[in-house]
Chain A
Amino acid sequence: QLQLQESGPGLVKPSEALSLTCTVSGGSITSSNYYWGYIRQPPGKGLEWIGSFYYSATTYYNPSLKNRVTISVDTSKNQISMRLSSVTAADTAVYYCARQTIRFGSPGWFDPWGQGTLVTVSS
Chain B
Amino acid sequence: DIQMTQSPSTLSASVGDRVTITCRASQSISSWLAWYQQKPGKAPKVLIYAVSSLESGVPSRFSGSGSGTEFTLTINSLQPDDFATYYCQHYNKSPYTFGQGTKLEIK
Contact = CB atoms under 8 A, between A and B. Distances in A.
Contacts of A106: 91, 93
B55 A46 contact: no
Interface in A77-123: 96, 98, 101, 103, 106-116
A103 B92 CA distance: 10
Interface residues on A, range: 20 to 34
A52 interface: yes
B43 A114 contact: yes
A53 B43 CA distance: 20
A49 B45 CA distance: 15
Closest 5 CB pairs of A and B: A109-B34, A113-B43, A111-B46, A47-B98, A60-B94
A64 B95 contact: yes
**Most A Cβ at <10 Å: residue of B1, B44, B96, B99:** B96
Contact of A110 (B46, B50, B95): B46
A116 B40 CA distance: 12
B83 interface: no
Contact of B96 (A49, A96, A101, A115): A49
Given A47-B87, A111-B46, A116-B43, A63 B32 contact: no
A48 B101 CA distance: 11
Given A60-B96, A107-B91, 12 more contacts: A47-B36, A48-B98, A52-B94, A61-B94, A96-B43, A101-B49, A107-B96, A109-B49, A109-B89, A109-B91, A113-B43, A115-B43
A33 interface: no
A108 B87 contact: no
Main secondary structure, interface of B, reads loop
Interface of A: 37, 46-49, 52, 60-64, 96, 98, 101, 103, 106-116
Contacts of A111: 45-46, 49, 55
Given A107-B91, A111-B55, A49 B98 contact: yes
B100 A110 contact: no
Contact of A49 (B32, B42, B97): B97
